[in-house]
């Protein structure tokens, strides 16, 4: 059996991106960890290598088109792209500005398009593109700009799946619910116990839950799945009363 090849994971320096990088490495991918922070990217690569895998770190601002182009000069072929890097902020509708929307879309959609287009040119038949969306695509208070951008990611995913289907490249999205990351724990506006209390399963998700979903969609087992959004949220998106 041949090795899976090369996987690029954006935002791979911490949290969900780091877990994805480690999981894909265990499946045999050589992982290129792309992140804004050099020390974090290097740390992920170190963990990959300590676990017996292969990895490279690359420092990149994904919104800088020239730097993205330069990055891809060093990548001749890529079998898997995970668009995990993203921007998030909390701001009520009454305080949002057009610049808030522009900056959110610049990272969460425009940069994703740029990376994906360049990767697709280097992707063989059987390649996989996985975009990280969010359960917030269904709507959420206090971050309309973020929710809108993630809903756009879903539209992008479905449309691109049709564009690349005849090339044998699958395009899917994973939409995490509330995932217990260091970033979430550090937020002053977050009450973890309150969040757990409204989850149907009574717990929050882990980064490994998302990594497992991404790994599945990158594998041969998912070769006939494309244009889909996999909600990984412990059933929270189903709604329903928590008590009668």
- Over residues 43-92, the pLDDT tens digits come to 999 999 999 999 999 999 999 999 999 999 999 999 999 999 999 888 99
Determine the pLDDT at residue 151: 95
* 9-29 confidence digits (pLDDT tens): 999 999 999 999 999 999 999
Give residue 136's pLDDT.
84
Number of domains in the chain: 1
Q: What's the longest Cα–Cα distance across the chain?
A: 59
Is residue 56 helix, strand or coil?
strand
Strands 54-59 and 80-83: unpaired
- 1: pLDDT strictly greater than 50: no
Q: What is the pLDDT of residue 179?
A: 76
Q: Look at residue 16 and tell me if it is in a domain.
A: yes
Q: Is the pLDDT of residue 200 over 90?
A: no
Residue 240 lies inside a defined structural domain of this protein = no
pTM, two decimals, is 0.91
Domain contains 196 = no
Cα–Cα distance list, 38 to 42, 44, 56, 139 (Å): 6, 10, 11, 34
Contact between residue 36 and residue 59 where contact means Cβ atoms under 8 Å apart: yes
Instruction: Specify whether the CB–CB gap between 68 and 60 falls below 8 A.
Output: yes
Cβ neighbours of residue 70 under 8 Å, at least 6 residues apart?
none
Whether 172 and 232 have beta carbons less than 8 Å apart is answered as no
Residue 50 lies in a domain: yes
Q: The domain containing residue 30 runs over which residues?
A: 5-179+208-233
Asked if the structure places residue 241 within a domain, the reply is no
Active-site choice (29, 58, 143, 146): 146
φ, ψ for residue 57 (rounded to 5)? Answer: -105, 145
Verify whether residue 58 is a known catalytic residue.
no
138 assigned to some structural domain? yes
- Please write the tens of the pLDDT for every residue from 89-144: 889 999 999 999 999 999 999 999 999 999 999 999 999 999 999 988 888 888 89
What CA–CA distance (Å, rounded) separates 111 from 95?
25
We report the CATH number of the domain holding residue 115 as 3.40.50.720
């Amino acid at each position: 059996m041949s090795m899976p090849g090369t996987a690029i994971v954006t935002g791979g320096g911490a949290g969900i991106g780091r877990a994805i990088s480690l999981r894909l490495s265990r499946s045999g991918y050589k992982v290129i960890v792309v992140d804004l922070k050099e020390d974090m990217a290097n740390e992920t690569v170190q963990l990959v290598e300590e676990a017996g895998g292969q990895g490279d770190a690359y420092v990149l601002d994904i919104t800088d088109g020239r730097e993205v182009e330069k990055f891809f000069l060093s990548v001749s072929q890529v079998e898997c792209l995970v668009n995990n890097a993203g921007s998030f902020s909390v701001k009520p509708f009454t305080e949002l500005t057009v610049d808030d929307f522009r900056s959110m879309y610049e990272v969460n959609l425009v940069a994703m398009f740029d990376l994906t287009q360049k990767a697709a040119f280097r992707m063989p038949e059987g390649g996989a593109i996985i975009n990280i969306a969010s359960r917030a695509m269904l709507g959420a208070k206090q971050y309309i700009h973020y929710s809108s951008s993630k809903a756009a990611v879903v539209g992008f995913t479905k449309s691109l799946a049709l564009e690349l289907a005849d090339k044998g490249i699958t395009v899917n999205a994973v939409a995490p619910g509330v995932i217990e990351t260091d970033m979430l724990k550090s937020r002053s506006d977050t009450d973890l116990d309150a969040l757990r209390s409204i989850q149907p399963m009574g717990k929050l998700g882990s980064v490994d839950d998302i990594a497992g979903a991404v790994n599945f969609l990158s594998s041969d087992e998912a070769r006939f799945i494309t244009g889909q959004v996999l909600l990984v949220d412990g059933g929270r998106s189903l709604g329903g009363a928590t008590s009668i």
